[in-house]
Structure 1
């Protein structure tokens, strides 16, 4: 699990700030900030608020107040995309429901849920477009029908296998991020 110090360091670097800049803007001693980022100290109260204000983030993004760890829920969240085999767009509907239900109470559900939803929305758009092209090819008596249908099922199988792979790794206590997705439908 990511610590408060590592989260602050990561966000600071993403914003292109140096430790000196963050300490000056937040009116915190540089050495104190260095200790926080090295997890030698944990920021409290006003110090944490000042850092978050300068980084323009909510305190909740750094500190997991009242959240608990539940790997079985994360596994279920990843395997929920299998509903696509029974219900069209089930790979989006069930993960969305699960994510909305527990994103604020279980550690890492918010991040993993957003990653799953972003990828599954893009996957559904691409895979359904492939299916439509394949069906259109069948209607127009084109030779492309079998190829597009094969691509459709191949992508479907790869999607399922990857979800099982991620769930297996979470079970082994390893967090695996979902596919990187350049398009963010859920932020």
Structure 2
């Protein structure tokens, strides 16, 4: 069914541009037999073949390959949930979704969009995780200390940090970050199930859509 859809798309685009199968074969670098088989739905072209066809037909690969992509919400949910592997080791939250993405790239609708958002967030999360002892902790707890001192001084009270050391401070932030990551993954899994856009914050577009 998918092959027939792509074949019809290729044939329709070719006819609308008034070009022959021979010309399309020459422009794309594919054999005329390959073009004929694709248009008849006798073969399922790979990503490279689709890109050659899209260049020759002057359309974007997404427009052309979108006809071969299937909707698989369950896979998208599993891809999103695979980021929970960060619990065992932070980098797994990046590597596992990336491997699942590669396995279904150009085959499942919206897989690129979901995978890139998840991976971008997990990359940002890992960076922040390792910056905690150096940057985040001093800034956050420095602000808390200043705020508490100002508030308590108005009541002629002194502020004590309850004996927390620097390692305890870092552990508190790490625990909060792990909880935030888990929260985002679970909430966005429900959003995928409801066919809504997923939202991850903060996130930098290391992988652009």
TM-score category (smaller protein): 0.5 to 0.7
Q: Distance in 1 between matches of 2:202 and 2:88?
A: 26
Q: Distance in 2 between matches of 1:175 and 1:186?
A: 17
Instruction: Call closer, same or farther: CA 1:131–1:100 in 2, change over 3 Å.
Output: farther
Preserved contact between residue 124 and residue 202 of structure 2 (Cα < 8 Å): no
Note the 1:15-94 alignment, pairs <5 A. Answer: 45=13, 59-63=60-64, 64-94=66-96
- When the two chains are superposed, the root-mean-square deviation of aligned CA atoms in Å is 2.9
Matched with 1:174 is 196
* Runs of 4+ that moved beyond 4 A: 131-134
Q: Cα deviations across residues 126-145 of structure 1 (Å, max 9, x unaligned)? A: 112215779xxxxxxx9322
**Count of residue pairs brought into register by the alignment:** 131
Preserved contact between residue 131 and residue 149 of structure 1 (Cα < 8 Å): no
Matched with 1:152 is 174
Name structure 1 gaps, 5 residues minimum: 1-43, 135-141
With normalisation by structure 2, the TM-score equals 0.54
With normalisation by structure 1, the TM-score equals 0.60
Preserved contact between residue 68 and residue 105 of structure 1 (Cα < 8 Å): yes
Matched with 1:40 is none
Give the number of the structure whose alpha-carbon radius of gyration is greater: 2
